[in-house]
Amino acid sequence: MRFSNSFLDEIRDRVLISDVIGRRVSWDKRKTNVSRADYWACCPFHGEKSPSFHCEDRKGRYHCFGCGVTGDHFRFLTELEGLSFPEAVQTIADMAGVAMPVADPAMEKREKERTTLLDVMEMATQFFQDQLQTANGARARAYLRDRGLTGRTIETFRLGFAPDSRNALKEHLAGKGASKEQIEACGLVVHGPEIPVSYDRFRDRIMFPILSSREKVIAFGGRAMSPDAPAKYLNSNETELFHKGNVLYNFARARRSTQGANGEGTIIAVEGYMDVIALYQAGVENAVAPLGTALTENQLELLWKMTPQPVLCFDGDGAGIRAANRAADLALPHIKPGRTVRFALLPDGKDPDDLVRNEGRAPFDKVMSQAKPLAEMIWGRELKTGSFETPEAKAELEARLRQLVAVIADEDVRRHYQQDMRDRLNGFFRPQFQNRDGGERRNFDRGGFERGGFERGSGQGRGRGNDGPRGARVSGGGISDRLARSGLVRGHQETPALRESVLALTVVNHPALMQDEYDEIASIDYDSRELQRLWSGMLGAAAAVAGPHLTRDYLIERLEEQGFGGLIQTLEQQIRNARLWIATEQAAMEDAREGYRQALAFHKRAKALRWQKIELEKEIAEATESGNEEVIDQLMRALQEVHFEGLRLENQEAIIDGFGVLSGRVKGAASH
């Protein structure tokens, strides 16, 4: 029997080609990158010792660079396993959990009709393109020109114009031999029992052809030229060809951009047709858009077929943030190892078209570079829901986060999200969870979090005794002695590092920074225990007020009430001794912001070095257990390099050498 293209596409899209091929080959661990769905193996079609057989889930294709074989799911089964094509289709359908179609003459007739409908849609596209170039399309051309689109871009996306007529398209298609039934089946006219004479669906609109994954026109979107039109944008209705929730605008072109020479880019989902087109013209070819509605599960799956970590880009206004939050809730149950989403929020009142029209792609690229992980998006949203000064409010936040995380289907990812949220809550509420003698009480670790499913892993505490990083025990004590003799293991530093003092005091003296940088500020983790407690106290105080009420005087007063007055004075003195005026109250806001960013960069670098050190110590412990002296020596040298880089970082006393003093924006600097 003949299978319809739609059925073959459906089962092929539901099954990863790596799952089909993986039953017959062993993937090479060194070359394979599972997170990018990029697999390598020794070719099953010819004998070889080094892997030259390549398979990509995003493309749904395989290719051997040795013998040249190439193909898709079905070809692999027919050529390697000797199955007939119907047998290969049956195998893939079984893996997809889709029933095989029953031989049905009516179905085959529908498939032929579907092909004919594609021909009608192509004729309609050409009609709209031609109309854009006529006198009737002058206003539409002017609009597109005012939006900054070039003739080449208009041609690339095949933009057109539907004239303000009830029957212009209908009569054109009829003159080309299209039947009344075909025109109606394409959704190009409005018709029905109560409508005596059908009429063109799209009138006086700029037309955006919507393409299938095989780059055939299956629908249209139309933007009204008249401000009085009932709907600014109008899409085709659901037809045999078009199911809105299963289609992304610019899908095929964006997918190709991830498969080119650079092939490592992600996919960016924006909100509208014009955003996609403007980005393309600015050089960003990997953007797609849902069709005027909120992102659907099927559209999210399409994104994941192209890239393991798409970026969802939303306008920064209230509607955009609400849409981002809906998308976060949509994605959360479906994330897996190597499959997640990030969120990029544009400046309030801006869309991608606005950003790239005058300054090119640089401002948009900057927004993309600041895209937030899904976990941070969820945490930031819940933190903005209210004040958390009472035990009841804290418990409510804890319960809400627990419920959100519980929907994650993948057990491993769910466990890591539980730990991540527990750590964030511990840091946020730490000042309220201390013993009277100042020692830490880990109520969240021993209380409701464990009962609620926020499991605490072993070996995560600060004190490890003779254990190595992450609980990896160093046997025999030899490596501990060796590390001690090397001077690479240092005790806890009680006095805050200068860079940490600059970072903390700049924000305390300029709390307005929290209006724009709150999420990043809230996530700062200091080495100094004193600054950890100060930070949690500051965040708790800041959460109780908003906007203009969050002043330095208010913040200092709240912190002094919590017993941090002495620490703030110590930080002030430390900063003034180092002559780092940028962190003082007298610094202008522009200088304070620049100083904060520079200090944060130093802080992050120090954190990265510390993480490298922990990982190296863990590897040294493992190498010691196996007795591999050569590896131990290599790791010790690497550890020494990290250690010396850390010392260089600590010795950079003048973090912001003279910044602001010469700019004239620091008031009274000379008097201090």
Residues 536, 541, 545, 546: is their CA dihedral positive or negative? negative
Tell me: pLDDT of 260 over 60.
no
Q: What does the pLDDT average to over 206-220?
A: 93
Split at pLDDT 50, 70, 90, the class of 404 is: very high
| 259 — pLDDT class (breaks 50, 70, 90) | low
* The pLDDT of residue 127: 96
Query: What is the separation of C-alpha 335 from the centre of its chain, rounded to a whole number of angstroms?
Result: 12
**Architecture of domain 5-96 in CATH?**
Alpha-Beta Complex (3.90)
Position 576 pLDDT exceeds 70? yes
Q: Please name the amino acid found at residue 381.
A: R
Residue 140 has what pLDDT?
A: 96
Query: Rounded CA gap, 500 and 512, in Å?
Result: 19
Every domain of the chain and the residues it spans: 5-96, 105-242, 251-380, 385-461, 498-650
Beta strands in 324-380 (DSSP E): 342-345, 372-373
Does the pLDDT of residue 62 top 50, yes or no?
yes
pLDDT value at position 575? 84
Pairwise CA distance, residues 470 & 478, whole Å: 19
CATH architecture designation of domain 105-242: Alpha-Beta Complex (3.90)
Assign 107 a pLDDT band (cuts: 50, 70, 90): low
Q: What 3-state class would DSSP assign to 41?
A: strand
> With 60 as the cut, is the pLDDT of residue 521 above it?
yes
Residue 115's pLDDT band, with cuts at 50, 70 and 90, is: low
| Phi/psi of residue 342, nearest 5 degrees | -125, 165
The pLDDT value recorded for residue 7 is 83
**pLDDT for 656 beyond 60:** no
How far apart CA 98 and CA 13 sit, in angstroms, is: 12
CA 154 vs. chain centroid, Å, equals: 29
CA distance 53 to 62: 7
CATH for 251-380, among 3.40.50.1220, 3.40.50.2300, 3.40.50.720, 3.40.1360.10? 3.40.1360.10
Query: Which backbone phi and psi does 505 adopt, to 5 degrees?
Result: -70, -35
